[in-house]
Amino acid sequence: MATPRSTVLITGAAAGIGRATVLRFARAGFTVGAFDVDEAGLASLAGEAGGQVHVGHLDVTDADAWRAALDGFAGLTDGRLDVLVNNAGVLASGRFETIDLARQQRMVQINVGGVLNGCHTAFPYLRDTPGARVINLASASAIYGQPELATYSATKFAVRGLTEALDLEWREHDITVRALWPLFVATAMTDGMHTRSTDTLGIKLTADDVADDVFVTATSPLRFAGVHRAVGLQAKALFAAAQVTPGRLLREVNRFLAAPR
């Protein structure tokens, strides 16, 4: 449960995982900063969540916009930032050569650049808040490069690497950095999505499932926690297997999952 001053800033907050995460932290008594480019979604979120939630427009690819958002939220929290949740992300599925290049570049800008911008600009607030935590939304697609999700998968590999490095770098500042690894989640991002992997594995997780794991990662003792947390039984099984599976066999597993049915 939150202390009277516990604070969290969440990106991609207007819908899906972000919205569910905002509501989960608000129910626990956190002061929540909810940011997105979807102002209509933010307005409905504010109406649903009540006074604990402060909404604002934020394009995560814009570092100056990050600074303004953080400065405004810090003004409400006496500069305190206990938890940063880098959730904003986009997805395009299909064969690599068929997806417009500009759309793929936009995935990189949001999924990687947004996390990089958030971590860098939030650092002074995290450093000055004892025991601060950063939670980056990665994906089970960062276990091994996924056919029909090539660029999305690559962005999540980048999030994985950044998370691991910053958790080591920022230990001296009492900042913990973690990555969450859900498989496919039933949100607008996967509506109408048909890849061979989704046809094989299905879409089993809800936004609330992921939000609950974000909250646990943000509030549980860290003594036995690893840098990465798989979300859901499927992702946990895949992640555990990947720790002991030779690369060649892991490649064949992914080839099987992506094979025509």
- In the chain the domains, ranked by start, together with CATH numbers, are 7-257 (3.40.50.720)
Compute the distance between CA of residue 67 and CA of residue 121 in angstroms, rounded to an integer: 6
Closest by CA to 48, choosing from 33, 26, 16, is 26
Residue 82 and residue 6 in contact, taking contact as beta carbons nearer than 8 Å: yes
Kindly indicate the confidence band of residue 159, based on its pLDDT and cuts at 50, 70 and 90: very high
Least confident of 10-19, 28-37, 61-70, 248-257: 248-257
pTM for the predicted model, two decimal places: 0.88
Q: What is the mean pLDDT of residues 192-202?
A: 61
Q: Under DSSP, is residue 229 helix (H, G, I), strand (E, B) or coil?
A: strand
Q: What is the pLDDT of residue 120?
A: 98
pLDDT at 234: 74
| pLDDT 10s digits, 119-158 | 999 999 999 999 999 999 998 888 878 889 999 999 999 9
Q: Say whether pLDDT at 232 is over 80.
A: no
Q: What tokens appear for 237 in the block?
A: 């099984």
Backbone angles phi, psi at 107, to 5 degrees: -60, -45
The pLDDT tens digits of the residues spanning 62-115 come to 999 999 999 999 999 999 999 999 999 999 999 999 999 999 999 999 999 999
CA proximity to 12, closest of 88, 91, 83: 88
- C-alpha 89/C-alpha 207 separation (Å) is 14
pLDDT at 235 over 70: no
Angle between helices 150-169 and 101-108 (to 10 degrees): 20
Catalytic-residue membership of 144 = no
Q: How far apart are CA 3 and CA 156, in angstroms?
A: 32
Runs of H (alpha helix) within the chain:
16-27, 39-49, 63-77, 101-108, 114-127, 150-169, 196-201, 207-219, 233-244, 247-257
pLDDT of residue 146: 85
* 76 neighbors 50 (Cβ within 8 angstroms): no
- Between residues 50 and 67, the one the model is more confident about: 67
DSSP string, 151-182: HHHHHHHHHHHHHHHHHHHGGGGT-EEEEEEE
Which residue has 């992640």 as its token pair? Answer: 239
CA 227 → CA 133, 180, 260, distances in Å? 11, 9, 34
pLDDT band at 5; cut points 50, 70, 90 = confident
Q: What percent of the chain has pLDDT over 90?
A: 67
What is the rounded CA–CA span in Å between residue 233 and residue 223? Answer: 23
Contact 257, 200 (CB under 8 A): yes
Residues 152, 170, 181, 239: which is the catalytic one? 152
- Alpha-carbon Rg for the chain, nearest whole angstrom, is 18
| Number of CB atoms found within 10 A of residue 113's CB | 18
How far, in Å, CA of 185 to CA of 177, rounded?
22
Percent of the chain with pLDDT over 70: 80
